[in-house]
Structure 1
């Protein structure tokens, strides 16, 4: 399997309920501008298509305000998909439709979590291409991290204590920006987690120290790096990309203010998959 190479992305349209009921919307008195959020979502959908990815688009479900952040519903590496067990009750019903697509349409090896006490959000699982880090904290517990280790025995899986970090998910402050390049958000709480990761890592990584969480929000896929525009990242963090990112990597800038307001961003919108054999019943946009 080639790390960071994918041919399918499961995405979900933005529901009206995102405006006032999403995880992050309480930080904004006027709520999220849903129409702008939908424009941002459509931009990401087209960007992914331009990265040679087939899109499987799910219809929004108003019962689940955060359903557009599909990455939390499963962990997919190679042909194995581990169905998550979200740590917040408002999101637990989202996994049903994802399970159907992964198992019925993509025909992947779908693994369920056996431990009834386990909780796991996909946003707490960082796959570096060589190993896996799982943040144990607000949404994912020890049993959830153990389920990741059992589902992907071919990779070293390291648990890191994420409970004292202000961020909700591990990938809110850590993301891969390329092979061996890790984007890291600022703050002593994040640095403490980074130290844990470096202590247990089986491979070395180039740390790209950004000056905001938003600047850390990016997606490396099929030789492309999708990231925020300079205005959102800030000049210093934007300059870090010029310094660390291989010139052969195609960079794509997107405006993602509204969806970021809702609590997540670029890295959480698609559930990326690599399926080596296509089936006729797969329908994508």
Structure 2
């Protein structure tokens, strides 16, 4: 008996194969002039600089010290070593630019926006469309302004979330290359998921319950074009079971000892036939999960550490926005 497809869209949504981000198209850098390369495609990446925050601001996890140094964290959170966080952020940018060959734009830090570096929460991007999110925390909503401006400079079609009842953090949205899964969490509600479905009508959009204070991408991610990686916690495994029950596509799965290790970035290079990259936690972070990731033989593993940034609630995929577009000229 065929399994029924449960989507949250108010209309039928066609599921189509998508060679993202490997479509052979040219691209423009964010906020920069058009670029010429010999490769058929390159992926643009957007980073937000890391700087100190005002003492009055709390962190994504519910309070305490975030992107500031030397202060007591409060709420059981350790103080952040700002210099180490900046080094980690710099290494991430270097890996994106030099190892993966991405064109990179870094937005300057703003003291009034202490969680600005977590810009993965500010937009959901697919193709030429960018959905500007409405973060759950009112204090974080001004973060979207700088990201919106950068994406407008690129020429993307900007979609706003005009419903004041909707909340959406971008790290609750997982795109597999074939469909979207949206985590219903503390940070993202059903109305926010409906707006994702309404924005990206060419893809199936399904909702996945997320327990506790996690985001969906803090529990599972894409370890390859058809491979889902997930942590070993009950919350992570529950999310994966829900995704398996909802999808019409066959995905392999790999369970990692650490939930945080599943927050990774799968990226295709521009050259046809080249091995894809998987940007993942490394550099001494989560060694047991690093060993498990070696089982992914069809990707080139690129390790990067974000153990200090993690104290501010940062997962790896929250630290950058990656996009591929055709020029509008």
The answer, yes or no, to whether TM exceeds 0.5 is: yes
Distance in 2 (alpha carbons) for counterparts of 1:3 and 1:58: 25
Distance in 2 (alpha carbons) for counterparts of 1:79 and 1:18: 35
Are 2:45 and 1:9 equivalent residues in the alignment?
A: yes
TM-score (norm 2): 0.78
- 2:228 alignment partner in structure 1: 182
Instruction: Please give the residue correspondences for 1:52-201 in structure 2 after superposition, counting only pairs within 5 Å.
Output: 52-103=101-152, 105-162=153-210, 165-201=211-247
Distance in 2 (alpha carbons) for counterparts of 1:130 and 1:269: 23
Query: Which structure is higher in helix share?
Result: 1
Distance in 1 (alpha carbons) for counterparts of 2:158 and 2:321: 14
Unaligned runs of 5+ in 1: 280-285
- 1:38 alignment partner in structure 2: 86
Q: Residues 228 and 61 (structure 1 numbering): CA distance in 2 closer, same or farther, change over 3 Å?
A: same
Out of 147-156 and 105-114, give the one that drifted further: 105-114
Tell me the secondary structure at the aligned position of residue 31 of structure 1. Answer: coil
Among candidates 310, 315, 323, match of residue 260 of structure 1: 310
- 1:282 alignment partner in structure 2: none
Distance in 1 (alpha carbons) for counterparts of 2:97 and 2:322: 12
- 2:12 alignment partner in structure 1: none
| Matched-pair contact (CA < 8 Å) for 1:9–1:273 | yes
Whichever of the two has the greater Rg, that structure is 2
Matched pairs, number: 273
Tell me the secondary structure at the aligned position of residue 49 of structure 1. Answer: helix
Distance in 2 (alpha carbons) for counterparts of 1:18 and 1:185: 34
Unaligned runs of 5+ in 2: 1-17, 23-41, 66-72, 269-275
Distance in 2 (alpha carbons) for counterparts of 1:250 and 1:167: 31
Distance in 2 (alpha carbons) for counterparts of 1:274 and 1:137: 28
| Matched-pair contact (CA < 8 Å) for 1:182–1:207 | yes
Among candidates 9, 17, 22, match of residue 59 of structure 2: 22
Q: Residues 174 and 29 (structure 1 numbering): CA distance in 2 closer, same or farther, change over 3 Å?
A: closer
C-alpha RMSD of matched pairs (Å) = 1.9
Distance in 1 (alpha carbons) for counterparts of 2:156 and 2:225: 25
| Matched-pair contact (CA < 8 Å) for 2:51–2:114 | yes
Distance in 2 (alpha carbons) for counterparts of 1:270 and 1:18: 22
